[in-house]
A and B are shown apart, each in its own frame.
Chain A
């Protein structure tokens, strides 16, 4: 088997999908877009989070979303489109309620990511880049998601699903499909991809306190150090910047 398929004809590249003009953007969305813009010294900085918000509303980067961003930021639609098509998290077609990603960069791929992707794809009956017909799950092939010590890694709605196996993936997909409560291994209870996008736009969902502080792999060194009594050197008392109180504690 080989890696990614080699594609060389790109009939649909170059822009977002203009055939679907539906939108759920309202006056409230516009207000929120302006709120995001106001966070920055120069409003154009807000474009990435604004596009996340557009996705949370329209399920993708919609033509109306592009226009709205262009208007708020006073730039051209072509400029927004140039940004929207540069980043992989922006979608041209609606995502599923849940968005599943399987890492297949070298390390995860070798350790089982390729098999995971195959399993998930077969179970869902869709290829990476597609959405199940019922719109529940979309699938994506991921590049390294900074969780290599938990390989192979899957992500659902950009929450970690660490140390994945085909069996666990099977169960996970069943749970997602049937609407059961699913918890991320190092995160919160899964909500939906759209809700996740809203958080990325800077509108918190109140779930920061869910989940653990760290996964077991993250704690490994700390545990070994504790077992063996290793720690960082003591601070020399004489030297730290002194403001009197703390330095002599």
Chain B
């Protein structure tokens, strides 16, 4: 049995200036790179495959397998793109990683690029995180100066350039094909698949897109081995990962643990819900994953456990809301997010979220009418699984799961405004300065 918490990616975060290359090296940083470079790229890929690492960006696709889809015989350049767009509501793990230890990611980028035959890699980071971008830019510069990037890296004959690319505000650019369009200087709208990025991605060349945490996990896997990695976690959900606990908990924060830990355990570590309050509902992996309730405290937070509970592990963003919180209000806010972030390409997402917001507003205001719940669910039915990409599925998931678990609150929305049922002041960490109108 492994320990409850297993800091690997976060192990150096509390170090003195952990973002500096010398400090990172001091801890053994870049030794995995040296190890990788004396192996054949295919061997490196094999280790990642054997480790059982699954993508940490939400879908949980096996990383090594994704890499192996890159047609090595294809004469076009291969690209690696790191998805550092982290915009899924509740998700806040990649940013602290890159802020504290950007070299973990850069080292991962170099090893991963080597494995897939990429000579030009990109880190696509959302633009609204200035300091993270500063640290990334500096880490890349340092890596060049130290000979980890550029021509003939560490005398291996391997060349690699890395560009840190700042996005400009669009959640959809986290969707991998929209990210590619955005990185090509276009509107970030998802692309048709097939062709899949592994075959025709960036500039129609073979491209691997991975989440920050996925790539950052690679150095440790190469350093310590596939068996070491797979000794953590559960049967099909291997390794350690970062869980982000937020909301009405005593102490929100990041917890790096083997996959399969439960929310009950995590809550215990963070001191439980805030004083005098109980857990009402929570998201396992951002707002796009159907919400759960206190009934699910003991379900393992791994891909299989969450699927069995009718939800998804997603980004492991555990947003916990206590009994003061109006489900209707929260749902409306999430759907407003999706309406705001819908790229506009496909009809159900563009028009459906526009409509859902108006319907949910009526529920929040206590102005819904009988039949509106059925209408709400029917509209969700016409959106979910009909859209071009998964963004709209996420929007629908939060609505349908909210109705499933808290139907009575929606029923109450036909009579009473949500702020009367759940005075908003009670949910906030502080009161309103002035009496805010109802």
Contacts and interface: CB of A to CB of B under 8 A. Distances in A.
B58 to A, nearest CB: 14
Contacts of A82: 186-187
A240 B321 CA distance: 43
Interface stretch (B224-232, B294-302, B375-383, B408-416): B224-232
Given A158-B128, A186-B131, A240 B92 contact: no
A188 B133 CA distance: 12
Given A83-B185, A106-B333, A115-B432, A233 B99 contact: no
Interface string B1-36: 011111110110111011110000000000100111
Interface string B404-436: 000000000000000100001001111111101
Interface centre among B240, B242, B330 (most CB of A within 10 A): B330
Contact of B165 (A49, A90, A166, A221): A49
B89 A105 contact: yes
Interface in A76-133: 82-83, 86-90, 101, 104-107, 109-112, 114-115, 118-119, 122
Interface stretch (B67-75, B145-153, B303-311, B334-342): B334-342
A231 B266 CA distance: 16
B2 A149 contact: no
Contacts of A199: 130, 133-134, 137
B187 A109 contact: no
A4 B341 CA distance: 14
Nearest to A193: B130
A41 B187 contact: no
B337 A144 contact: yes
Contacts, number: 362
Interface string B94-131: 11100111000000000000000000100000111111
Interface stretch (A23-31, A172-180, A205-213): A205-213
Contact of A111 (B14, B287, B357, B427): B427
B330 A110 contact: yes
* Range of interface residues on B (Cβ < 8 Å): 35 or more
21 contacts: A1-B436, A41-B77, A73-B185, A107-B89, A110-B329, A111-B247, A118-B432, A144-B88, A148-B252, A151-B247, A159-B131, A186-B99, A188-B130, A202-B166, A214-B96, A217-B254, A219-B13, A225-B256, A232-B7, A232-B240, A243-B34
Interface of B: 2-8, 10-11, 13-15, 17-20, 31, 34-36, 38-39, 43-44, 47, 77, 86-92, 94-96, 99-101, 120, 126-131, 133-135, 137-138, 141, 163-171, 182-188, 203, 222-228, 231-232, 240, 242-248, 251-257, 269-270, 287, 317, 319, 321, 325, 329-334, 336-337, 340-341, 343, 357-358, 361, 364-365, 419, 424, 427-434, 436-438
Interface of A: 1-4, 6, 39-42, 44-49, 51-52, 73, 82-83, 86-90, 101, 104-107, 109-112, 114-115, 118-119, 122, 142-152, 155, 157-160, 165-166, 184, 186-188, 196, 199-202, 204-205, 207-209, 211, 213-225, 228-233, 235-236, 239-241, 243, 246-247
